[in-house]
Amino acid sequence: MALEFKKEKNNFDEEVAAREDMWKIILGFTPMALVKCAIELGIPDILENWESPMTLAELASEIKCSQSTLYRIMRFLIHYKVFQEKPVSETSVGYAQTPLSRLLTRNVKHSMAELVLLETSPVMLAAWHNLSAWVLGNAPLPFEAAHGNDLWGFCAENPSQNKLFNDAMACDFRVAVATVIEGCPKVFEGVRTLVDVGGGDGTAIRLIVDACPWIKGINFDLPHVVDVAPACVGIEHVGGSMFDHVPKADAVYLMKILHDWPDEDCINILRKCRDAIPKDTGKVIVVDAVLEREEDHEFKGVALMLDMIMMAHTIKGKLRTSKEWSYVIGEAGFTRYTIKHIRAYQSVIEVYP
């Protein structure tokens, strides 16, 4: 009897735990939505510029909003460790930044705020509602089903979304380039000219040239992208399609590009890159995720989620395992490559003719 009771209790405990996890899934959009709300209200920037923890009244006064509504929002975000409470006096507490919320401040070196605003935009969220129909073969690609065009075509026709996308990519590039240089410092040694394929507004190549001033940079992207890219000393903006050609250089840089495309397109892009570099001394530097890294890898879950984003937002793009990378690299005609893991969801893959 006791054994039967224990078994029933264990089953009940498992069911309760499962219900708790399911509620977290059902309401999983809530933290994302509240972080977006905090960015739009300017809360991280206000706290960052305040010399001491802010009381509820002070923060509400700065935002010009209701204290009771703001209290509920901050209570939620403190629970998720986005912000924190700190003593203001013996009887009161105020709100302060955390390492997480500092990533949400605007116009700082490693801000990720624009990435949040992109992925929470109605345009990007709409695609997810078409995922199951596409999986079953009953609908076009999820993004196309939602908007009648692929992501790149939609951005070309909608300047506001194009700016949102480029600003978000610039956020990611700032973090990624710093991590590449820290984790793989010799990758740019001996490179005199470097073309960044799909470089957006030129953020990545600018950071590389700043860190490696011996490099002449070429920022290569679609014409409507480079047309609005800011001028920068030591960098030439060139418009064109990587499916047609890649400008000549000692090395080609591909950061977060190949995961947007299926194998046949990746092979084509890599062949164009191979044609652009010297056959004896050139190389292609791919900064992208490699799935199935070590089990305790810090960003493993991030890479798996990004793979799902590729499914929803791109033309059959995907994140690849080392075996899948080996296939596309070999099919493109390269003879060897090395993979170096860094403290990011991406790795650095150096590919040689």
Q: Which residues are catalytic?
A: 259
From the number of C-beta atoms within 10 Å of its C-beta (0-12, 13-18, 19+), residue 214 rates as exposed
The identity of residue 292, as a single letter, is E
Cα dist. 115→108, 165, 232 in Å? 13, 8, 23
Cα angle for residues 205, 208, 214 (degrees, 5° grid): 110
State phi, psi for 218 to the nearest 5 degrees: -125, 120
DSSP secondary structure code for residue 173 in this structure: H
Cα angle for residues 301, 303, 309 (degrees, 5° grid): 110
Cα angle for residues 285, 263, 128 (degrees, 5° grid): 100
Residues in the chain: 353
Question: Among 193, 263, 190, 174, which residue's Cα sits nearest to residue 235?
Answer: 193
Residue where the block lists tokens 């798996």: 304
Question: Among 109, 168, 175, 190, which residue's Cα sits nearest to residue 342?
Answer: 175
Q: Are 106 and 121 in contact (CB under 8 A)?
A: no
Hey, how many other C-beta atoms are within 10 angstroms of the C-beta on 195?
26
Which pairs from 292-297 meet CB under 8 Å and 24+ separation? Answer: 292/321, 292/322, 293/341, 293/347, 297/341
